[in-house]
Amino acid sequence: MLAHFSPSISLELFELYGRVLQFLVAGETTVFYYNPSGLNCSWHWLWQRNLTTNPQIVWQRDEPAVDLIKQFNSNLFVLACLSMEFNEWELLGLASSLSHLRGVRVLIEVAGTGSPSEELLASKILSNCLKNSMLNAMLYFQQWSRLLVIYSFRAFPHFDLIKQKILPQGPTGLQMFVDQLADIRGLEIVAIPDLSPPNSFQYTDVNGQKRVAGYLWTFIAEFASSLGGRLKASYPTWSSGRTPASRYMQELTRNASVDFGLTTTMVTEKELKSIYQYSYPILYSSWCTMLPMERPIPVFSLFHRILSYEAVILVLTASLVLGLLVPGLLKYLDINFRWRLLHLTPRLLALVLVCACAAQLLSLLISRPTSTRIDSFDDLLRSGLRIFGMRSEFYFLEGDFRAKYAAAFHLTNDPTELYDNRNYFNTSWAYTITTVKWAVIDAQQRHFTRPVFRLSRDMCFNGFMPSCLLIPPESVYRDRLQHFTLRMDQSGLIAYWIRMSFYDMVKAGRMTIKDYSQTQQLPALNLNDIQLAWHLSLLGVIISLVVFGLELLRFYTPVFLNSL
């Protein structure tokens, strides 16, 4: 690619160009040539003659090239030509052009003469690059005398200028665009927790020191450790109230006062204008309904499940036919038949029926069936169970849904009342809950004799919503955090940390391992349990008395008529 170069170019620059070209994958990397002052830099002939296989953007205007992020990703290489006088507006224009693309590689050539100290000017330019979150920046001076010096810097734990010389012949050991985030050398990464379990919460350890725990804190602590840094907490100073904590965190991360705002913020259409203040989604959650487990039906209702009304009618009809109609019909037709066998058939049928009913009743008593399962909001309305929820959350739902299912909700303005009922597993209500908090509830229920609640994914208000962290718009950790998130999610560690948040809260004294499920007692049958049997027995006695009265009436009616 360097077949066509200027005869006046030095061997040192030729060596530098060859090393730069290794970052320009043919046909993939876009070259952005930034020269707002129209200076005569060495790159001017390079991009015209040699970089012909790469897409190129030449920018020679005073205003920054905005909206590059909408056209390109991080696969961009920047060649910048700045003046020796170091006009700060040139570097600010470059930073504005690379808005949300601060991770791309930038090679700066300083053109002109008259610099009092190259090293001092290089330090000034590169420190401004670090201030504007451009970590992959290197520069050299167009006017140099002996050996070409390439200036770069070490960003962490503090700014440190690095000088590298390029020899005219042979290998130089030049390191180009070293990964600054491979090791941040113990730098403190500042995160502000939302202090909302299980996301993050504060507690005092055995030594009396304040600590922070929760799955978000664990997640970001592991991220800081992977970079060789240390995590530091910046505790909230605002008072809890109607304004969500995320609103305060947005202000702190917007001006880069903190590196991360630890709260699971869901990105909606209203937040699209500040999309770059949100990280890559660390998880996808849903807002669904937590329902009590179906209760066993009462014992007296078991008798209704032994025989259906159709079966009872069929048995009575068969008994009547075999016991009364068939013998009379055979006698009328003068057909000889074994009458005892015929009279025995209804009795055998009754015996089989009694044995089958007893077996059915015994199996139902051993394992009682549960009440009708609730799988929709219509089922919830019919069941009489109500959802205990916050009034403010209810009005976020769609108007048609609120109008149709308003009777299925019991609303309150006191969050403590809701949390007390839900955390102590009050089965008198159903509750709204996110899938993240359900993972903690589910982990707690594993210590119960039997589960008390279940999560209904068929009764969700919002489904599969991305939850992000808050970060500064030009955060240097954005790309690295995205890769870290994908690795942790694929390994299952995020789901594991969410489940383990329950045990973190137990250690902090915020929750206890206690069985809130009620043990099912199996008491002896009482009169109320067999009320159906008593009703049927009474009905049988009444029918027997009626039949007996009819027989008496049939016998005494002729006697009474003959006595007249």
Task: Decide which of 298 and 235 is more confident.
Answer: 235
Report helix, strand or coil for 87. coil
Say if 407 falls within a structural domain: yes
Answer with the residue of higher pLDDT: 476 or 327. Answer: 476
Residue 346 maps to a domain: yes
pLDDT in the model for residue 477: 95
53 and 83 Cβ atoms separated by less than 8 Å: no
**Average pLDDT of the chain?**
83
Query: Per-residue confidence at 526, pLDDT binned at 50, 70, 90?
Result: confident
Q: Average of pLDDT values for 333-359?
A: 69
**What tokens appear for 427 in the block?**
């089965």
Res 117 pLDDT > 80 = yes
In a domain, 381, yes or no: yes
b vs e for 150-165, b when ≥16 Cβ sit within 10 Å of the residue's Cβ? bbbbebbeeeeeeebe
Instruction: Compute the average pLDDT of residues 382-391.
Output: 91
* Out of 42-46, 116-120, 276-280, 460-464, least confident range: 42-46
Q: Answer yes or no: are the C-beta atoms of 39 and 81 closer than 8 Å.
A: yes
Asked, for residue 540, whether it belongs to a domain, the answer is no
How many Å apart are CA 385 and CA 268, to the nearest integer? 31
Average pLDDT over residues 143-164: 86
* Tokens (6 digits) for 233: 């907490």
Q: Above 50 in pLDDT, residue 49?
A: yes
Identify whether 547 is part of a domain. Answer: no
| Average pLDDT, integer, range 106-118 | 79
What's the whole-number mean pLDDT along residues 463-489? 92
**Domain match, 126 and 274 both:** no
Range of lowest pLDDT (71-80, 96-105, 362-371, 464-473): 362-371
CATH code of the domain covering residue 107: 3.40.50
What CA–CA distance (Å, rounded) separates 392 from 59?
Answer: 51
Q: Are residues 344 and 402 in the same domain?
A: no
In the prediction, which pLDDT does 1 show? 45
Q: Is residue 75 part of a domain?
A: yes
Q: Which residue has the higher pLDDT, 482 or 564?
A: 482
111: part of which helix (H) or strand (E)? strand 105-111
Cβ contact 198:502 at 8 Å: yes
Looking at per-residue pLDDT, the higher value among 4 and 353 belongs to 353
Predicted pLDDT of residue 274: 80
DSSP assignment of 353-404, as one string? HHHHHHHHHHHHHHSPPBPPP--SHHHHHHH---EEEEHHHHTTS-HHHHHH
Q: What per-residue confidence (pLDDT) applies to 172?
A: 60
Model pLDDT, residue 48: 56
Of residues 165 and 104, more confidence is placed in 104
Same domain, 363 and 406: no
Q: Which residue has the tokens 């961009």?
A: 76
Q: What is the pLDDT of residue 171?
A: 53
Q: Any idea which residue has 């015929």 for tokens?
A: 342
Lowest mean pLDDT: which of 111-115, 395-399, 467-471, 511-515? Answer: 111-115
Helix/strand/coil for 314: helix
Would residue 361 count as lying in a domain?
yes
Is 133 in the same domain as 210? Answer: no
Q: Are residues 224 and 141 in the same domain?
A: no
Four-point Cα dihedral 61, 66, 72, 76, nearest 10:
50
State whether residue 64 is helix, strand or coil. Answer: coil
Question: 472, 496, 520 — which closes off a domain?
Answer: 496
Do you know the residue count of the chain? Answer: 564
| Backbone phi, psi, residue 272, to 5° | -65, -25
Same domain, residue pair 52 and 165: yes
**For strand 105-111 and strand 137-141, is the pairing parallel, antiparallel, or unpaired?**
parallel
Same domain, yes or no: 16 and 59? yes
Say if residue 384 is in the same domain as residue 466. Answer: yes
Q: What is the DSSP letter of 301?
A: G
Q: Is the pLDDT of residue 317 over 90?
A: no
When pLDDT is cut at 50, 70 and 90, the band that residue 26 belongs to is low
Taking residues 403-432, report their average pLDDT. Answer: 90
CB 418 within 8 A of CB 390: yes
Nearest to 199 by CA among 109, 263, 245, 265: 263
Q: What is the pLDDT of residue 140?
A: 87
Q: Please write the tens of the pLDDT for every residue from 180-190.
A: 999 999 999 99
Instruction: Report the CATH number at residue 225.
Output: 3.40.190.10
Strand partners, 87: none
d(C-alpha 261, C-alpha 251), whole Å: 10
User: Looking at the DSSP assignment, which residues form a beta bridge with residue 288?
Assistant: 433
Peptide linkage before 198 cis (omega within 30 of 0): yes
Model confidence at 473, pLDDT cuts 50, 70, 90, reads very high
Res 290 pLDDT > 90 = yes
138 and 46, same domain (yes or no): yes
**pTM score of the predicted model:** 0.79
Closest CA to 532 of 301, 354, 311, 297: 301
Rg, Å, the chain Cα set: 41
Last residue of a domain, one of 278, 310, 344: 278
Instruction: Give the DSSP H or E segment for 165.
Output: strand 160-166
| Residues 172 and 304 grouped into a single domain | no
Domain count, the chain: 4
What average pLDDT score do residues 4-20 get? 62
Task: Write out the residue range of the structural domain in which residue 485 sits.
Answer: 377-496
My answer on whether 112 and 25 are in the same domain is yes
List beta partners, residue 138: 107
**Residue 256 shares a structural domain with residue 303:** no
User: Which of 477, 496, 515 is the last residue before a domain boundary?
Assistant: 496
Q: Is residue 165 part of a domain?
A: yes
Give one DSSP letter per residue of 475-526, joined into a string. Answer: -TTHHHHHHHHHHHHHHTHHHHHHHHHHHHHHHTTSS-----SPPPP-PPP-
pLDDT of 14 reads 62
